[in-house]
Amino acid sequence: MSLTREQIEQLADHVEQAELQAHDITKITDDYPDMTFSDAYDVQWEIRRRKIERGARIVGMKMGLTSRAKMQQMGVETPIYGFLADYFERPDSGEIEMKDLIHPKVEAEIAFVTKAPLKGPGCHVGSVLAATDFVLPAVEIIDSRYRDFKFDLVSVIADNASSSRFVTGTRARNVHDVDLRNLGLVMEINGKVVELGAGAAVLGHPATSIAMLANMLGERGEEIPAGSVILSGAITAAVAVKAGDAVTLRAQDMGSVSMRFV
């Protein structure tokens, strides 16, 4: 660690206020160039602690930078994780208010909902499939708090992996009834296809991402609780949206999920 407890608390407040007030900031490594990955996760967990203290509920987790498209887009090579608070969730076919966001982008995902806890080390794909209650198509709305979406890996980890909103479909499927590796997804904005992808874009199989998350959390003595919603990672590149845009994700054999930005 290169940061003191006081610095971690100050950075957590700085980054979270940017999220809550929907204003951008410069990446925090500009001021703390020696920050480590451990420091960054300490900032993220402090933001999480503050939200819980104010009454927010943590409903799940997300994996980020898990697809080749996403890694290439952001110029990084290592997956990361963040948490999902209850107020991030929006209903299928609902509206998402732009005034609460800075410069949102949408990504196609597969969400896993757990029926048993998962804890590393040693968590593997089989463990994940056994602990999964069902899977759903999902759209994650990422919204980096950093100016012009420019950041490094340490900064984005501290910013809760750009988490802001997410929408899941309503057609739950048994994980054993869907070929998640070959599952095709189509993202449309205002009726026009903007992205195509398949489940294999996420580390070869989306369940691999969930196992990796459990093992990463295990390093902190944490686990994925039963009943968690886990966004396994972007299957497509992120696409910017603006007020008035209608977004629909169609997933093979899993129905669709849609939202409008207002």
Average pLDDT along the chain? 95
Q: Could you list the residue range(s) of the whole structural domain that residue 198 is in?
A: 5-261
Per-residue pLDDT tens digits for 236-246: 989 999 999 99
Number of domains in the chain: 1
Whether the ω angle into residue 137 lies within 30 degrees of 0, i.e. cis, is no
Q: How confident is the model at residue 1 (pLDDT cuts 50, 70, 90)?
A: low
**Alpha carbon distance 148, 26 (integer Å):** 9
Per-residue pLDDT tens digits for 57-103: 999 999 998 976 666 776 666 689 999 999 999 999 999 999 999 99
Indicate if the pLDDT at residue 8 is higher than 80: yes
Residue tagged 């980890």 (tokens):
157
Q: Measure Cα distances from 29 to 2, 49, 92, 128, 156 in Å.
A: 12, 22, 36, 35, 10
Reduced 3-state DSSP string for 110-139: EEEEECCCECCCCCCHHHHHHHEEEEEEEE
pLDDT at 76: 67
Residue tagged 């608070």 (tokens):
85
pLDDT at 65: 85
- Per-residue b/e over 28-38, b at no fewer than 16 CB within 10 Å? bbeebeebeee
Q: Which residue has the higher pLDDT, 153 or 56?
A: 56
Q: pTM of this prediction? A: 0.95
Per-residue pLDDT tens digits for 191-221: 999 999 999 999 999 999 999 999 999 999 9
Q: Which two tokens stand for residue 141?
A: 């709305």
Q: How confident is the model at residue 109 (pLDDT cuts 50, 70, 90)?
A: very high
- CATH of residue 249's domain is 3.90.850.10
153: part of which helix (H) or strand (E)? helix 153-158
* Residues ≥6 apart with Cβ < 8 Å to 4: none
